[in-house]
Amino acid sequence: MATTPNFEPPGALLRRIDRVCRERIAPRAAEVDARGAVPAASWRDLAEAGYFGLFHPTCWGGSGADGAAQAQAMESLATACASTFWAASISTVLCGKMLYNLCSPEHQWRWLRPIIAGSKIGCFAASEDGAGSDPGSYRATVRRSRHGSRLSGVKSRISNASTADVAVVLARHEGRDGSGLCYAVVDLHKRGVSRSEMPRVSLRGMSWGTLTFDDVELDDGDVIASASVERTLLSVEWGQLLQAWSSVGLASAAFDACRRHMLGREAFGRPIAHLPVLQARLADMRAEIDAARLISTEVSLLKARGQVAREAVLIAKIHSTEMAVRCADAAMRTFGGWGLSPRHPVERIYRDSLANVPAGLPTDRLREMLGCNLLGVSPWAYEPFDWLSAAGLRLDLPSAPLG
């Protein structure tokens, strides 16, 4: 796998990535969606262009690019193909940053280095069938015994589930010190790991599915039980930034499609670009996208400096993801009936935009967290409600053994 050249004029790296996105990735987007897979050629193209290394230091083969460069590259790739962007970025940005922030140098040597080279794929496994926003109800558990640690449980709705080589798994931890949450670095080719794909309407080119762990053996070093809230936030926020840029890219693609269509499509004797209603829609799209780009770039700058973005990333995620659906909807209206046809990219953009809203904590939950922040109250505080017993719930966490 080619590595990024060490010495090149400033801007050359970004121009190369942008060119690869426009000339190689974007033309494959429709087929990626139709076939349900990102081709190996795209993976190679991105690796050679240096995309995976943008987010990581040179000691692991990265380029140590600044936040502005990361922002531009993410937008370029996200505009070209949402599924490819997600697959590549879940691996290098979300999983990669978890490995870097939470795990040992040994893990980074074993997994982060090849992720940066593009020869291995990573994923982050947190949500389960019965648990999304509420990590307190996870059932997947790492159990310590004198024979070592073992992971059992099922994670679902995991990006890159079928294609990944390694997973950083967020699970319950039961050991001598009681129970809490822990991270486990799991080689997905180990005995006891099985996977399956889940059908979906959005991001069809990316792998998305279930990881089942059946008593998977873990070395002690593979279990990280002491991750602080700060370190967790530091890493998890990269995922939310990923969703924000995916949305900016999708909205940008919708905007460009509208612009071209308005200039070419004729009705009542002239291009529909002359219609004030369509002009108003285009102007409003531009305003929303510009605002999303501004806040997302700010978050990229913060994250690249190793900081926690806190409210800025909540704002970026909530606004960008929801505005992308609005822009995609506006594009559908501009294309009229043609919006429904795969001859144009808007129907794929519309479907893909839907995934970003619930991903990485749904916007409903993020709004609550933001609102609580404003009010100085905790989003984790218990509020009594009157159907507790009727719903069969208990106040403490379940300790039932896994099936």
Partner 1 sequence: METRTIEPSCADPAGRALAFALDRVAPSAAARDRGARWDGALFLAAAQAGLAGAVIPQKYGGEGLDARRLGGCLEALGRGGGDAGLAAALWAHGVGCGVLLARLGSDEQRRRLLPPMARGELLASPAFDEDHEAGDPLGVQTRAERVKGGWSLRGKKRWAANAPVAGLWLVSAVTDPGAGPRGVSAFLVEKGTPGLSVGPRLDSAGLRTAAFASLSLEGCVVPEQGRLGPEGSCLTLAAPLLRRWTRATALAPWVGLLDALLAHCAGQAQRRQLWGKPASRSQQHRAALADLKIRLELARRMQARAAEQLDLGGPDVDIATSCLFVGAQIRAMAEGARSLLGPLALEPGDLGERLARDAAALGLLIEEDSLLRPVIAGATLGMG
Question: C-beta of 258: minimal distance to partner 1 in Å?
Answer: 9
> Which residue's structure tokens are 């822009």?
327
Q: How far apart, in whole angstroms, are the C-alpha atoms of residue 289 and residue 323?
A: 8
Check residue 303 for interaction with partner 1 (CB under 8 A): no
Check residue 68 for interaction with partner 1 (CB under 8 A): no
Check residue 374 for interaction with partner 1 (CB under 8 A): yes
Q: Quick one: 64 or 362, whose CB is closer to partner 1?
A: 362
User: Which member of 129, 215, 266, 311 binds partner 1 (CB under 8 A)?
Assistant: 311
Check residue 377 for interaction with partner 1 (CB under 8 A): yes
Check residue 370 for interaction with partner 1 (CB under 8 A): yes
Check residue 325 for interaction with partner 1 (CB under 8 A): no
Question: C-beta of 318: minimal distance to partner 1 in Å?
Answer: 6
Q: Which of residues 137-176 bind partner 1 (CB under 8 A)?
A: none
Q: Quick one: 98 or 272, whose CB is closer to partner 1?
A: 272
Check residue 361 for interaction with partner 1 (CB under 8 A): no
* Local structure of 328: helix, strand or coil: helix
3-state percent helix, strand, coil for the chain, nearest multiple of 5: 55, 15, 30
Question: C-beta of 305: minimal distance to partner 1 in Å?
Answer: 14
For the stretch 118-154, what's the b/e string if a residue is b when 16 or more beta carbons lie within 10 angstroms of its beta carbon? bebbbbbbbbbeebbeeeeebbbbbbbeeeebbbbbb
Stretch that binds partner 1, among 31-39, 128-136, 325-333, 374-382 (CB under 8 A): 374-382
User: Which member of 312, 324, 332, 349 binds partner 1 (CB under 8 A)?
Assistant: 312
Check residue 284 for interaction with partner 1 (CB under 8 A): yes
Q: How far apart, in whole angstroms, are the C-alpha atoms of residue 60 and residue 75?
A: 24
Check residue 78 for interaction with partner 1 (CB under 8 A): no
Inter-residue contact 57 to 64 (CB < 8 Å): yes
Question: C-beta of 265: minimal distance to partner 1 in Å?
Answer: 12
Q: How far apart, in whole angstroms, are the C-alpha atoms of residue 259 and residue 281?
A: 11
Check residue 288 for interaction with partner 1 (CB under 8 A): yes
Check residue 298 for interaction with partner 1 (CB under 8 A): yes
The DSSP result for 134-199, as a single string, is -GGG---EEEEETTEEEEEEEEEEEETTTT-SEEEEEEEEEETTEEEEEEEEEETTSTTEEEEE--
Inter-residue contact 150 to 218 (CB < 8 Å): yes
The DSSP result for 195-217, as a single string, is EEE---SS-TTS-EEEEEEEEEE
Encoded tokens for 351: 């479907």
Query: Residue 46 burial by CB count (10 A; 0-12/13-18/19+): exposed, middle or buried?
Result: buried
Q: Quick one: 113 or 365, whose CB is closer to partner 1?
A: 365
Task: Please tell me the count of residues contacting partner 1 according to CB under 8 A.
Answer: 37
Q: Which of residues 242-271 bind partner 1 (CB under 8 A)?
A: 259, 262-263
User: Which member of 2, 267, 283, 397 binds partner 1 (CB under 8 A)?
Assistant: 283
Q: Give the footprint of partner 1 on this chain (CB under 8 A).
A: 259, 262-263, 273, 276, 278-280, 282-284, 286-288, 290-291, 294-295, 298, 309-312, 315, 318-319, 364, 366-368, 370-372, 374-375, 377, 383
